[in-house]
Amino acid sequence: MKIDALREYCLAFPRATETLQWGDELCFKIASRIFVMLGLDNPRLCFKCTPETFAELIEREHIHPAPYVGRYQWVMLDRLDALPDEELQDMIRQSYEMVAAKAPKKPASRRSQTRTKPRPKTRVKPAAGRTAPKRTRKR
């Protein structure tokens, strides 16, 4: 699959965006979470997969655990033709679905991030015949 076709396919998903990060990495995201990384200078592709698929894919030629995120079942394809186009599209779709499932549904507003309701103060009444211990401050 060519870079332009990959880009078009990734951007076809609902709420998908792209950003250029870390020099030459074109990152496709949903709600600021990456589901595919595409290297532009040295064409390579990274995506998330299930643990079963991960174990199967890393046995193939030109596919290995992605640097830094391989422990989270991300694989790196050293060549864009390491998988047939249909299989690659299916893997990208699965990556999108896994990441989208954990992505926030709506971006939080700035106001809700900074303000929280104060917790009401509650007093515990001592049991009958007992007095509550006095609290002292440590300095």
Average pLDDT, 10 consecutive residues per value, the chain (139 residues): 82 82 81 84 84 83 79 81 86 83 64 54 64 65
Query: What are the residues whose beta carbons fall under 8 Å from the beta carbon of 104, sequence distance 6 or more?
Result: 31
In the 8-state DSSP scheme, what is residue 88?
H
**Cα–Cα dist 29/131, whole Å:** 59
Q: How far is CA 12 from CA 63, 95, 102, 120, 129, in A?
A: 25, 14, 19, 47, 71
* Segments making up each domain of the chain, as ranges: 3-105
- CATH code at 3-105: 3.90.1150.30
Give the predicted TM-score (pTM) of the model: 0.65
Location of structure tokens 């299916």: 90
The pLDDT score that the predictor gives to residue 130 is 64
Q: How far apart are CA 136 and CA 59, in angstroms?
A: 64
Contacts of 113 (CB under 8 A, 6+ apart): none
pLDDT of residue 112: 45
User: Could you tell me the two tokens for 55?
Assistant: 């174990």
